[in-house]
Amino acid sequence: MILITGGLGFIGTHTTRALLDLGESCLLVQRRPAVVPETFAGEPVVVEQADLTDESSLLELGKRHEITGIVHLAGSVPWPPGAYQPLEGAEQAVRSLLNVFRAAREWQVARVGVASTIGVYGGVPGEGALKEDVPLPMTAGHPIPAFKKIGELLGDHLAGAMGLDVVNYRIAAIWGPLGHTRSPFFAAPQLVHAAARGAEPDLSTLRAGAHLGDGIDMCYVKDCGRAIALLQLADRLAHRTYNVASGRLTTNGEVVAAIRKLVPDARADLPEGRDPAVPGCWLDTTRLREDTGYEPAYDTERAVADYLTWLRAGNER
């Protein structure tokens, strides 16, 4: 049984689906009370409540379930802004990660996967494909990449010191069903939601990148979940860190073109050109492909079509 923290969240739900499709059973851990959703009814899925900052609460799960692996997608970042005082937020974020490693040692799991982010590459000079071995700046302009860098360093140290198989997932810009309508990092989710509503997209939350030529490595959430599942279940991995991504740059212009094939009158008029603040970078997925056989199943057009179908079925958030 694979324990997934944040297993009922955006990426967690799709990772659970992928693990089930590969024949695994899943234990989904949530901080708040929850039940098995209808989408997993009748499948080998259990939902338990546990606070990751409470070591005893987490370890208690191992007395009720035979846990063979951990996919840690929740917490480890003091987020959202204002939810915690700075010291208390940092302490909770780090404690939750350390407790996951304590549980892994206690249960002797085969592998611990820990979510990181494309944001750790922020500040790397140049454009083009970003490989996992590129040197990262020791700074970060946002709490999420800052604490993900901390998590990677802690995981690397503890993997060696404790003899654990630890894998970092550097996750690209993820979009699709269950995702947030607006992102501060890329425009695609709002563009698709607006098209489904027949509305003007509100890109006011974007920090940068509202031009047609602006792009990022966008990975559809169903591909993301499958990639994480493959990394968790691989017999052997040659590396500790993997980019979980599409392996290509997707521009706003490509997203708009895919939307207008399905919604010709979509109100998605973005300015031409590129924002100079947005580098043309994507994540190299050679390691992921070679070690797991992963290939994205969703190109931009198929992803937009699937997302619109989901939204039009009454799932608008």
Rounded to two decimals, the pTM is 0.95
Residue-number span of the structural domain to which 305 is assigned: 174-218+246-315
317 has pLDDT over 70:
no
Are 285 and 245 in contact by the 8 Å Cβ rule? The answer is yes
Average pLDDT, integer, range 266-281: 91
Question: Do residues 182 and 45 share a domain?
Answer: no
Question: Do residues 99 and 214 share a domain?
Answer: no
Question: Do residues 13 and 123 share a domain?
Answer: yes
CA 113 to chain centre: 12
Question: Do residues 190 and 123 share a domain?
Answer: no
- Beta-ladder partners of 49: 30
237 has pLDDT over 90:
yes
47 has pLDDT over 90:
yes
Question: Do residues 77 and 26 share a domain?
Answer: yes
Convert the pLDDT of each residue in 281-298 to its tens digit: 999 999 999 999 999 999
Question: Do residues 162 and 179 share a domain?
Answer: no
Question: Do residues 7 and 150 share a domain?
Answer: yes
Q: Which two tokens mark 303?
A: 């992803």
- Say which range, 139-143, 147-151, 171-175, has the weakest mean pLDDT: 139-143
- Say which range, 88-92, 135-139, 233-237, has the weakest mean pLDDT: 88-92
Question: Do residues 108 and 239 share a domain?
Answer: yes
Cα–Cα distance measured from residue 28 to residue 109, given in angstroms and rounded to the nearest whole number:
16
79 has pLDDT over 70:
no
Question: Do residues 161 and 178 share a domain?
Answer: no
Question: Do residues 233 and 276 share a domain?
Answer: no
Nearest residue to 46 (alpha-carbon basis) of 84, 76, 4: 4
Are 170 and 157 in contact by the 8 Å Cβ rule? The answer is no
Longest dimension (CA), the chain: 58
Question: Do residues 164 and 198 share a domain?
Answer: no
Question: Do residues 224 and 297 share a domain?
Answer: no
Q: Which two tokens mark 316?
A: 């608008």
Average pLDDT, integer, range 114-128: 94
- The CATH number of the domain holding residue 250 is 3.90.25.10
Last residue within a domain, chosen from 182, 209, 244: 244
pLDDT for the residue 130: 98
Convert the pLDDT of each residue in 5-29 to its tens digit: 999 999 999 999 999 999 999 999 9
What's the total number of domains in the chain?
Answer: 2
- The CATH number of the domain holding residue 25 is 3.40.50.720
